[in-house]
Amino acid sequence: MPEQTRLTPLAVMILATLRESDMHPYELMRLLKERRDDRLVPLQKGTIYHTVARLERDGLLAEVGVDRDGNRPERTTYTLLDAGRHAVEEWIRVELPQIDRQSDFRVALSEAHNLERDDVVGLLDQRRALLVESVDAHRASLAWAADNAIPEQFLVEMQRQAALLDAEVAWQDGLRARLADRSLPWGVAEIPEHLTKKNRVSKETTP
């Protein structure tokens, strides 16, 4: 991957979805929408086709065939290259520990299953340390405000953020525990067969 290339969240999701099977852009868009990934990034036809073209230019995916269904336009099918797989993993490793880029973190979390279980645990531990630092900073600020008789009406946003941070730490601790004790199935190999793209398509095409 060229050094100057920076993957967008949509690009990450496209590449990660291609790990399951080769697909054409329309199929990618349909599958992402079925999984409600439009909660995380806008899924517009033009943007998806443009992103796929850029990823092909950057050597992260490649054409593997063209097919036609009846009178519909030809559809080009793409496959994920090793460079694309590595790019997704690298992006997740950078974004998953972060606490200051919430939109990117949500995408990294949704695609974290592309990393090994133990790697995700380690990255979440890094993120927890940052969360705890932020919790401590908010508590210290609130304590200072109380000592200095700052009117509470000026502090409601800080109080809210402190509460959200506490909840975030508690939620993440629960996720980490389930990953560590292996009670949470993890990785592409552990996706139930009826939810895989290959199985879904075969059912759709069965008479």
Residue 4 pLDDT level (bands cut at 50, 70, 90): very low
- Cα 193 vs. chain centroid, distance in angstroms? 21
Range 71-91 burial, b when 16+ CB lie within 10 A, else e: eeeeeeebebbebbbebbbeb
Does 105 share its domain with 138? no
User: Of 109, 139, 167, which residue is a domain's last?
Assistant: 109
Does 187 share its domain with 128? yes
Per-residue pLDDT tens for 8-46? Answer: 999 999 999 999 899 999 999 999 999 999 999 989 989
Q: Residue 184: what are its φ and ψ, rounded to 5°?
A: -100, 115
Any residues with CB less than 8 A from the CB of 142 and at least 6 apart, and which?
Answer: 155, 158, 159, 162
Whichever domain contains 28, its CATH number is: 1.10.10.10
Domain assignment of residue 164, yes or no = yes
Does 97 share its domain with 167? no
Per-residue pLDDT tens for 59-87? Answer: 999 999 887 666 667 789 999 999 999 99
- In the chain, % of residues over pLDDT 90: 79
**What pTM was computed for the model?**
0.84
Contact criterion met (CB below 8 Å) for 58 and 48 = no
Domain assignment of residue 136, yes or no = yes
Does 88 share its domain with 154? no
Range of the domain at 77: 9-109
Residue 133 amino acid letter = E
Any residues with CB less than 8 A from the CB of 69 and at least 6 apart, and which?
Answer: 75
User: Of 109, 134, 153, which residue is a domain's last?
Assistant: 109
Does 98 share its domain with 121? no
User: What value does the mean pLDDT take over residues 172-192?
Assistant: 90
Whether 2 shows a pLDDT value over 90: the answer reads no
Whether 124 shows a pLDDT value over 70: the answer reads yes
Does 132 share its domain with 92? no
Does 156 share its domain with 86? no
For residue 155, the tally of other CB atoms under 10 A from its CB is: 15
The closest of 63, 146, 57, 130 to 97, measured between CA atoms, is 130
Contact criterion met (CB below 8 Å) for 169 and 128 = yes
* Domain count for the chain: 2
Report which secondary-structure segment, H or E, holds 169.
helix 156-180
Domain assignment of residue 173, yes or no = yes
* DSSP per residue, 22-63: -B-HHHHHHHHHHTTGGGTS---HHHHHHHHHHHHHTTSEEE
The closest of 168, 90, 100 to 128, measured between CA atoms, is 168
User: Of 91, 109, 127, which residue is a domain's last?
Assistant: 109
The closest of 2, 4, 5, 7 to 107, measured between CA atoms, is 7
Domain assignment of residue 33, yes or no = yes
Per-residue pLDDT tens for 148-164? Answer: 999 999 999 999 999 99
Does 83 share its domain with 141? no
Domain assignment of residue 2, yes or no = no
Domain assignment of residue 3, yes or no = no
Does 79 share its domain with 102? yes
Does 84 share its domain with 170? no
How far apart are alpha carbons 162 and 156 in whole angstroms? Answer: 10
Residue 205 pLDDT level (bands cut at 50, 70, 90): very low
- Phi and psi based region of residue 73 (left: phi greater than 0; alpha: psi -120 to 50; beta: remaining): beta
